[in-house]
Amino acid sequence: MKVKVISVLEDNYMYLVIEESTRDAIAVDAAVPKRLLEIIRKEDVALRAILTTHHHWDHARGNEELARLCPGLRVYGADERIGALTHKVTHGQELTFGAIRVRCLFTPCHTSGHMCYFMWEDGSPDAPALFSGDTLFVGGCGKFFEGTAEQMYTNLTQILGALPKETKVFCGHECTVRNLKFALKVEPENEIVKKKLAWAKQRDDEDLPTVPSTLQEEFLYNPFLRVTEEPLQKFTGKTDPVEVLRTLRTEKDNFKKPKERPNPQAVLAFDWGLFSPFLEKK
């Protein structure tokens, strides 16, 4: 099983999972069809299915076009809002693609129909893979758009957190540096957070992905998986794990956003005085 990490849009990831003996492939969150088809041609594989974690456009918008271009393509997901859906899956359902086994893990919160996908090959020495969409990120978790802190706590502790610790985590977005900056605010003395943040910044400078991480690593630096630890309880002023998680999410939502770079054309326009007529007082 080979996983191709494909950066698309502003900070999204889609993935192509290749069954190497048959050269069949499965896509996860096929947002940009043209880019995906380029990789498929380059790898000389046949796309058999799409696994969609949730219905948001930046994860599912390529489904219809791919279904049109690839007759017979199967599209899996847990939400009727997912475009071109052919197979609605449920929690614990297992799928097979050649030697690749997939277990569907229902994780409602970011959206009410969010599904993660746990993949492995029987008898393989390679670690299994988790495609966690917008539920679990490197150093963070997804926003609670359509769910509750209780749901996310269950997702992170009982469903994803219970997977084998060597599981590789392939998430839906590249937001590791910002997540770890927040983690450092929460746990300023955590040396593992400091090291991971320095590493992530270097990867970012080199325009390289920070995925995958492993579940074992996440428990060391991801604040949303560390809600029973004393520093997290001290930071939030809470002791109940769900309340710690709820407070952390609110704090993260209000955490300072990175400064946006001004549009170069707009800067030139100001320099040349083109906006002056609009700025003059009447």
From 29, 54, 55, 114, active-site residue: 54
From 24, 29, 55, 110, active-site residue: 110
Which DSSP string do the residues of 27-85 spell out, in sequence order?
EES---HHHHHHHHHHHT-EEEEEE-S---HHHHTTHHHHHHHSTT-EEEES-TTSTT-
d(C-alpha 233, C-alpha 216), whole Å: 21
Q: Is there a catalytic annotation at residue 114? A: no
Helix, strand, or coil (residue 194): helix
Q: Are 224 and 156 in contact (CB under 8 A)?
A: yes
Q: Is there a catalytic annotation at residue 87? A: no
From 29, 55, 59, 114, active-site residue: 59
From 58, 114, 204, 207, active-site residue: 58
Q: Is there a catalytic annotation at residue 29? A: no
Q: Is there a catalytic annotation at residue 91? A: no
Q: Are 75 and 82 in contact (CB under 8 A)?
A: yes
CA angle (209, 215, 216) in 5-degree steps? 115
Q: How far is CA 123 from the centre of its chain?
A: 27
From 134, 204, 207, 253, active-site residue: 134
Catalytic residues: 54, 56, 58-59, 110, 134, 173
